[in-house]
Amino acid sequence: MGRNRSEVPPGVVALGGFFVVGALMAGAAGTSLLLRGGPLEAMWRINPRAREDLAGLGSWAVVLMLAVAVGCALAAGGLWMGKRWGHRLAVGLIGAELLGGLGALVLRGDLRTLVGLPIAALLLTYLLSAGVRAAFHPAG
């Protein structure tokens, strides 16, 4: 089930672009972790703590980041094609981000999450709004 792209709400199309950016960033992070010291290493200057945290996972960090990249790419495609699975995947990914941010705030006292938490909450609220849900879960 799903609708054609012309029936997908414009906000959902834009959110698909957000997921493409997420896929590119996660893919770059995974590649950087795989090819340590390579040309992508400079990206970690933005958030060196994330590099340290991921390094603690060993090779699983590469698997995790590449899985996030694939998930984001699939969510983007599913949203753009108006597929129910794309909507569900997007909700799941943003929900996971929200829970992860809450965990970082509560468990580590990471105040930087106070920027991302409201954004994730707003995106999730939008995706779960009646109009967007109806575009992916039509009646009948």
pLDDT at residue 6 tops 60: no
Q: Is the pLDDT of residue 44 over 80?
A: yes
Residue 139: its pLDDT value, please? 64
Q: Residues 6 or more apart from 3 whose CB is under 8 A from it?
A: 82, 135, 136, 138
Give the pTM: 0.86
pLDDT one-digit tens code per residue, 65-76? 999 999 999 999
pLDDT digits (tens, 9 = 90+) for 117-134: 999 999 999 999 999 999
Q: Which residues does 114 contact at the CB level (< 8 Å), separation at least 6?
A: 105
pLDDT at 124: 97
Q: How confident is the model at residue 55 (pLDDT cuts 50, 70, 90)?
A: confident
Q: What are phi and psi of 38, to 5 degrees?
A: -80, -170
* Mean per-residue pLDDT of the chain: 89
DSSP one-letter code for 2: B
